[in-house]
Structure 1
Amino acid sequence: MRQASTDAILAGILHNPAVQIGLLMQDETPYGFFEFDLTAPQDINLSYFGLFPEAVGKGIGRAFLDAVVRLAWSYRPTTLRVNTCTADHPRALPFYQQAGFVTVKEVEEVWDVPQRLGLSIPERFLA
């Protein structure tokens, strides 16, 4: 969804002190990323978490998620939430559940993905 954002929206996110963004790097290569929404520090939202395609299947996702979760808990929130969707990797939900997250709510959404992004959209998502 960040790819669909305008530069102005992205700049606002990057300069927002309530947003923390981190990268998992190996040498000069980014392997993963996360974004915390710290707007309500007692209820941290792990807004985005992921690995880049070249990092998937190498066994680093679990360790990276563990480090990100530990960082989130260091802020001493009462809750830590993560969101996933059917556009994420098919193993995302089971992965989060294995890490101890539980499903609280399911929401059906429709996203307008701009053609300018040049993203290939899987058939299952086309209306």
Structure 2
Amino acid sequence: MTLLNLDGYTDLPAGKIAAVVTYLEMKERPAAPPAEPLPLRPVPAPDLAWYRSLYARIGLDWLWTSRLLMTDAEVAAVLHHPANALFVAEEAADAIGIVELDRRNPEDVEISFFGLVPGATGQGLGPRMMAAALGQAWQPETRRVWLHTCTLDHPGAVSFYRRCGFTPYKRAIEVMDDPRLTGAIPREAAPRVPLI
């Protein structure tokens, strides 16, 4: 295992990408939601093809790939787990956003995925969707809600989560094969991230 240089620059081999991951948490239910909650529809046992399509619509430009690299059995095990909750935001019966909560530890709830399709961003729906997500995440037994984002996500993600009441508590560096070069996703995805 090669460790990254903890000071200065560390070269990455061709075909690899790296991101700085920021973990954020909320240790108390907000006194007031960040905005009027956007209605969310629970999807208790989603069709895998439908889910992967929505996940890709939301995340390909941000290089979301974890669920695309999993087998159907692996994705089904997560999505159909009784402690996992998937919700969608809809507009004219079309899903435009997802919120996925991991409640395997009911005191420590992770917002594992949160995002809107590209055409729905910039319209003030994010704070409303987060208000609804927090309403679902905070249950009487919940002591903390947390999530993570990275430098491959929307550049305003950390400040958005902070405005919603989350506090950064940890950073990590994620290095992975560029999924555009492995064929996992289209080469034209995330054009702002150079292919090397």
Does TM-score exceed 0.5, indicating one fold?
A: yes
Cα distance between partner residues in 1 of 2:123 and 2:166 = 22
Residue in 1 that maps onto 2:147: 82
* 1:49 lines up with 2:117 in the alignment: no
Cα distance between partner residues in 2 of 1:48 and 1:105 = 18
Q: Label 1:102 to 1:40 Cα distance change in 2 as closer, same or farther (>3 A).
A: same
Cα distance between partner residues in 2 of 1:126 and 1:39 = 37
Q: Using CA pairs under 8 Å that are at least 6 residues apart, name the structure with larger relative contact order, 1 or 2.
A: 2
Query: What TM-score do you get using the length of structure 2 for normalisation?
Result: 0.60
Deviation at 1:116, TM superposition (A): 3.2
Residue in 2 that maps onto 1:100: 165
Deviation at 1:31, TM superposition (A): 1.2
* 1:28 lines up with 2:96 in the alignment: no
Other structure's SS at 1:118 match: coil
Aligned length: 127
Q: Is the 8 A contact 2:68 2:184 kept in 1?
A: no
Q: Which has the larger radius of gyration?
A: 2
Unaligned runs of 5+ in 1: none
* 1:116 lines up with 2:184 in the alignment: yes
Cα distance between partner residues in 1 of 2:140 and 2:87 = 15
Query: What TM-score do you get using the length of structure 1 for normalisation?
Result: 0.89
Unaligned runs of 5+ in 2: 1-65
CA RMSD of aligned residues (A): 1.8
Q: Label 1:82 to 1:75 Cα distance change in 2 as closer, same or farther (>3 A).
A: farther
Identity %: 34
